[in-house]
Amino acid sequence: MAQEKSNRRVATTTPSKNTEIAKIRHSKDEEPNFYKCPSCGTNYTKLDDNFPSSQSELYAGWNYHLPVCKKCLDQMFVHYTEAYGNNEDLAVRRICEKYDIYYCTSLLNASRKITKNRSRIHTYVSRSNLTQYIKKTFDTTLDEERTNTISSIEEYDVKKANGEINITKATLKRWGVGVFEDDEYPILEEHYKMLKENNPNADNNQEIFIRSLCHLNLLMIKALKNKDLDGYTKANGEYAKTFKQAGLKTVEEKDNSNDETFCMTLGFISDYTPEEFYQDKELYKDHDDIGEYMERHILRPLINLETGSSTRDKEYFVPETEEDYEEE
């Protein structure tokens, strides 16, 4: 007899966006007379100046100091830097992960080593305790890094049906599935449309540059959001070089008239110099006869050159034959 399949469904859960540990209370029955580093075993009579400060509730019992002395922290940073192929950024992240320290790009850039005797990891930890980073730990980092990307077309269909997203499938396919977060697609699409409107005849090579420019524009926006000046400067520089290399046009001024004059449009004149100012024809009359000069000495020779005609100037033309008089 065939075994019947169970209809039981196991409920799945997802982590909350707020994963920070709640404040841990502890009693202070007796204060110790020394603090021992668990890494090297050295005894210190005080926490300050010997153990780095911390924002994590895990170390509330140590008056919010890391349970490792500054000397050991330096050695740990050297170890992880070598372990990650001399990549200091990865070494900083690993230590932040180990001791529940807030990790972000702006802090990373601000802690870069600028002098021989400066400890990068001490600088990073010190800056992570500034006012703007109060109560931020590695849990905060994980919350900030949690993505809302669409991993498949099927997931897109479900989200679209539930009204969770407001992007088209064409937009999703243009920028890729599982690459960007939901709120980043509209930013990419808006910049893409702006560049395409100003460069309607872009070829396939320029199309590649246009998409790269959209990526760089998104990086600039994210850098501004994170107050990452170094990241913004680099993205902005790459944007300028890519734009120049692509040979694209900048934003063009447009109006509703579609009638253009030399160097400006009628819409521009209408906005900044109202038409009624020009109603006094006598005031704006061609007193110097520049218009007549243009017709006689520039336009007439050009017409003769282009069409092969032989129109003569009425003032300076001297007839030589009766036919010339008749032509005049």
pLDDT in tens, the chain (328 residues): 455 554 544 444 455 556 666 766 655 565 667 899 999 999 998 999 899 999 999 999 889 999 999 999 999 999 999 999 999 999 999 999 999 999 988 888 888 866 667 789 999 999 999 998 899 999 988 887 776 677 777 778 877 777 777 888 888 888 888 778 888 889 999 999 999 888 888 888 889 999 999 999 999 998 888 888 888 899 999 999 998 888 887 655 454 444 444 444 555 555 555 555 556 666 666 667 777 778 877 888 888 787 878 788 777 766 666 555 455 4
Give the Cα separation of 234 and 225 in Å (integer): 15
Q: Identify the pLDDT of residue 320.
A: 63
Q: Which residue has the tokens 């170094």?
A: 230
Q: Identify the pLDDT of residue 6.
A: 46
Would you say the pTM of this structure is higher than 0.85?
no
Q: Identify the pLDDT of residue 204.
A: 86
